[in-house]
Structure 1
Amino acid sequence: MTTNIDKLVFRIAGLFVLLSLALAQLHSPHWLWFTAFVGANMLQASFTGFCPLAKILARLGAPSGAAFCAARKV
């Protein structure tokens, strides 16, 4: 079973959020700005369908999923 772009985007975004929360707790609260950036990017992607990470993963050859399908290459 191959992992598609949708699953990879969710996994990487979740990893970034958890990592930045851990860094905010252990190092500096300024890491919460990274959490806010990831959340804002996910919010805008839900409205526009544009996700920079999905574009990068598509160029790397990951198979498309339902949310970030190849038909969006307008």
Structure 2
Amino acid sequence: MKKNLWIVLFLLLTLLLLRYLPDGIFDSFVSNNIEISGDGEIGMNNFDSVVIAIKLGVSAIIAAVVLIVCRRLVRKPR
């Protein structure tokens, strides 16, 4: 497949995973392991930003692994 298609698939898969991965796992990880500074609304904004950043990183890693496996299956000689 063309390189542009792999890039589009990576972005689409990353966004889908970002949307559908459960927030609870990341919320509990951040609240138990990461110190968030700020009071009230600022603290909650910082908390939500950290959760979204971690979710985005995990989604990108999962999408990259899935695409690498798919690429190897497509290139496999028959």
Specify which structure has the higher proportion of helix: 2
